[in-house]
Chains A and B, each alone.
Chain A
Amino acid sequence: MIEHADIDTELIPILDKVSDPEIPVLTILDMGVVRYAKLVDDVVLIKITPTYSGCPAMDVIADDITAAFKKAGYKVNIDLILSPAWTTDWISEEGRDALEKYGIAPPLDADADKEALLGNKKIVKCTNCGSHNTKLVSQFGSTACKALFQCEDCQEPFDYFKCLK
């Protein structure tokens, strides 16, 4: 489910085939980066929003959307919008499950996130063994949206998707 996004139902199957280039198990709908998709006079109008300002995936996502609609026989026009700013709340339930299976701990709520990143509480669940006995290694992980954690039970290092609100 995608909150507040305005998307024509008939376009969902096409958008659902476009995955996030950095986290391929998630579709761009799961990520919540598509904010608007409507068919207006033969042209599909789409608005996407970046997760982070410097997210290098946005150009690829726009190209992939264009290709997917071209294949389905549509003309497409894509706008990049900044407002309202993307939040991790827009990641769907399916998306959160997929993240965890992929080895990335899904974002906690804002207060819990702060406690976890300040190292005050052990609340981030290891994606390998499920233990909460985990520690922060670095506030920044392989990309700006993630932090690096390590499990103190099974020793597995893993990414945590930081809460962005």
Chain B
Amino acid sequence: MNTNLYNYLLGIADNSLILGQRLGELCGHGPSLETDIALTNISLDLFGQVRSYYQYAAKVAGDNRDEDTIAMMRPEREYVNVLLVEQPNTDFGYVIARQFLFDVYHYMFLTELQSSKDETLAAIAKKSIKEVSYHVRFSSDWIKRLGDGTEESHKRIQNAINDLWTYTDELFHQTEADKKMIADGVGVDTSKLKEQYYKQISNVLDEATIEVPDLKYFQKGGKQGVHTEHMGYILAELQYMQRAYPNMSW
């Protein structure tokens, strides 16, 4: 099997799986009916996209793995999502800040992935980007509403941005698989997106009267399977049914 392609696919899909799982936790708990529905709709979009990536990964693996075992039966160290997406739903400010910091990256990434030499990846990107354009609009809009809202909402969204900022740089780290896939014209050279990413983020934060953090030190590790203390709890919930009742299906 093409190990680099397989690992590259997981690198993309795990981000959306774990973020989707985090958003799914909010089902029935959103601050208002509309935001509750919006966040779970975004979660559903992400799971739908993830399914396409894992189905393709199972095909690349070519053994008895399928989309479900790849999604739900790996140990923690084999998940390669960035640390940003596993951060908890501390409050609505954190939920929106995490979403915004990821959406802007996700949209730029998919824009480039559409011209991948790998036809399947290009097709998934073309499908997904239409959905993600709504995600970016939703989270950017809320950043402005919270930042430019009440004193309390401003304080909370500023705190969330400050706390989560340390996880943004990892989005642009490249693994061995990333580098090989970029060289083959399959992967996206994320180093070229970094400047534009921080520019777009800063523009929205400026408009929202939120201060752009000035940070020199960034956290990383997720892409190597070294996660924060939150990850185990996410996987416990995600994997429980498949572990308790192996091969169960609806």
Residues on A facing B (Cβ under 8 Å): 50, 52-56, 82-86, 117-118, 137-144, 148, 162, 164-165
Is B48 a contact partner of A50 (Cβ separation < 8 A)? Answer: yes
Q: B16 → chain A, closest Cβ, in Å?
A: 10
Q: Which of B34, B48, B122 contacts A52 (CB under 8 A)?
A: B48
Chain A residues with Cβ below 8 Å from B41 are: 140, 143-144
What 5 A-B pairs come out closest when comparing CB atoms? A54-B48, A53-B48, A138-B34, A83-B123, A140-B38
Q: B148 → chain A, closest Cβ, in Å?
A: 15
Q: A144 → chain B, closest Cβ, in Å?
A: 4
Q: Mark B131-169, 1 if CB is under 8 A from A, else 0.
A: 100100110010000000000000000000000000000
Q: Is the interface of B mostly helix, strand, loop or mixed?
A: helix
**Nearest-CB residue, chain A, relative to B127:** A85
- A164→B128 CA distance, assembly (Å): 11
Within 8 A of A (CB), among B112-126: 119, 122-124, 126
Q: B41 → chain A, closest Cβ, in Å?
A: 4
Is B130 a contact partner of A85 (Cβ separation < 8 A)? Answer: yes
Chain A residues with Cβ below 8 Å from B35 are: 138
Residues on B facing A (Cβ under 8 Å): 34-35, 37-38, 41-42, 44-49, 51-52, 119, 122-124, 126-128, 130-131, 134, 137-138, 141
Chain A CB within 10 A, most for which of B44, B47, B122: B44
Is B131 a contact partner of A52 (Cβ separation < 8 A)? Answer: yes
Q: Which of A54, A86, A117, A142 contacts B45 (CB under 8 A)?
A: A54
Is A140 a contact partner of B138 (Cβ separation < 8 A)? Answer: yes
**Nearest-CB residue, chain B, relative to A138:** B34
Selected A-B contacts with CB under 8 Å, 30 pairs: A52-B44, A52-B131, A53-B48, A53-B52, A53-B131, A54-B45, A55-B48, A82-B126, A83-B119, A83-B123, A83-B126, A84-B126, A85-B126, A86-B127, A118-B137, A138-B37, A139-B38, A139-B138, A139-B141, A140-B41, A140-B42, A140-B138, A141-B37, A142-B37, A143-B41, A144-B41, A144-B44, A162-B134, A164-B130, A165-B130
Chain A residues with Cβ below 8 Å from B49 are: 53-54
Chain B residues with Cβ below 8 Å from A144 are: 41, 44-45, 131
Chain A residues with Cβ below 8 Å from B47 are: 54
Chain B residues with Cβ below 8 Å from A141 are: 37
Q: B9 → chain A, closest Cβ, in Å?
A: 15
Q: Which of A85, A138, A165 contacts B38 (CB under 8 A)?
A: A138
**Nearest-CB residue, chain A, relative to B129:** A85
Chain B residues with Cβ below 8 Å from A83 are: 119, 122-123, 126-127
Chain A CB within 10 A, most for which of B35, B41, B122: B41
**Nearest-CB residue, chain A, relative to B124:** A82
Q: Given contact pairs A53-B45, A54-B51, enumerate 15 new A-B contacts (beta carbons under 8 Å).
A: A50-B127, A53-B52, A53-B128, A54-B47, A54-B49, A56-B44, A82-B52, A82-B123, A82-B126, A118-B137, A137-B34, A138-B38, A140-B42, A140-B138, A164-B130
Chain B residues with Cβ below 8 Å from A143 are: 41
- A27→B35 CA distance, assembly (Å): 31
Chain B residues with Cβ below 8 Å from A140 are: 34, 37-38, 41-42, 134, 138
